[in-house]
Amino acid sequence: MSGAIRKERDVGTIRVAGRDALFEPFRIKGVQFANRILRSSMGGRTACYDGTVSPAWRHFEKKFAKTGVAGIISATIDIDEKRLSPLEYPKLSDDHFIAPLRAGVKEVQQLGCRCIIQLGDPGGRTQTSLFSQKADTQATSANFDLMYGYRNRTIPMTTGEVEREVEKFVQAARRVRDIGADGLEITASKGYVIHQFLNPVTNRRRDRYGGSLYKRFQLLGEIVTGVRQIIGRDFLFGIRFPAEDHNYAPINLRLPIVFPRRDYWFGNMLDQNLIYAKELERLGTNYLHVDSGFGFSNPKGNPRDYLYDGIRLFANSIRHLNTKATITAIIVNPIPTAIARHTLGYGWKFKPAANADYARAFKQNPSIPVISNGGFQRQDVIENALAARKCDMIARAAVACKSRPSQNLRLGPERVRQSPHLLQSMLEPVGSAGARVLRAQPFPVAGRDGAADYRLSGTTDDGENAVSA
Least confident of 192-206, 258-272, 365-379, 434-448: 434-448
Average pLDDT score over residue span 117-125: 95
Question: Do residues 392 and 367 make contact, with C-beta atoms less than 8 angstroms apart?
Answer: no
Give yes or no for residue 412 having a pLDDT over 50.
Answer: no
* pLDDT value, residue 26: 96
Percent of the chain exceeding pLDDT 90 equals 65
Quick one: pLDDT band at residue 84, thresholds 50, 70, 90? confident
Q: Quick one: DSSP state of residue 140?
A: S
Quick one: pLDDT band at residue 338, thresholds 50, 70, 90? confident
* pLDDT value, residue 111: 96
Contacts of 183 (CB under 8 A, 6+ apart): 28, 29, 31, 114, 115, 116, 117, 235, 236, 237, 238, 286
* pLDDT value, residue 214: 96
Least confident of 128-142, 258-272, 298-312: 298-312
pTM comes to 0.84
Least confident of 60-64, 189-193, 306-310: 306-310
Please report, for the chain, the start and end positions of each structural domain, with discontinuous segments joined by +. 8-303+351-441, 307-344
Q: Mark out the alpha helices in 212-322 (DSSP H runs).
A: 218-231, 261-266, 270-282, 308-317
- Measured CA angle at 422 (ends 419, 426), to 5 deg: 170
Give yes or no for residue 348 having a pLDDT over 60.
Answer: yes
How high is the mean pLDDT of the chain?
83
Average pLDDT score over residue span 430-446: 39
Most confident listed range (296-300, 334-338, 406-410, 460-464): 334-338
* pLDDT value, residue 393: 97
Average pLDDT score over residue span 392-408: 59
Give yes or no for residue 148 having a pLDDT over 60.
Answer: yes
Question: Do residues 267 and 216 make contact, with C-beta atoms less than 8 angstroms apart?
Answer: no
Least confident of 224-233, 412-421, 448-457: 448-457
* pLDDT value, residue 20: 67
Homologous superfamily (CATH) for 8-303+351-441: Aldolase class I (3.20.20.70)
* DSSP one-letter string for 363-402: HHSS-S-EEEES---BHHHHHHHHHTTS-SEEEES-SS--
Q: Tens of pLDDT along 237-249?
A: 999 999 999 999 9
* Count of C-beta atoms within a 10 Å radius of residue 213: 12
Least confident of 183-197, 211-225, 287-301, 392-406: 392-406
Average pLDDT score over residue span 131-156: 93
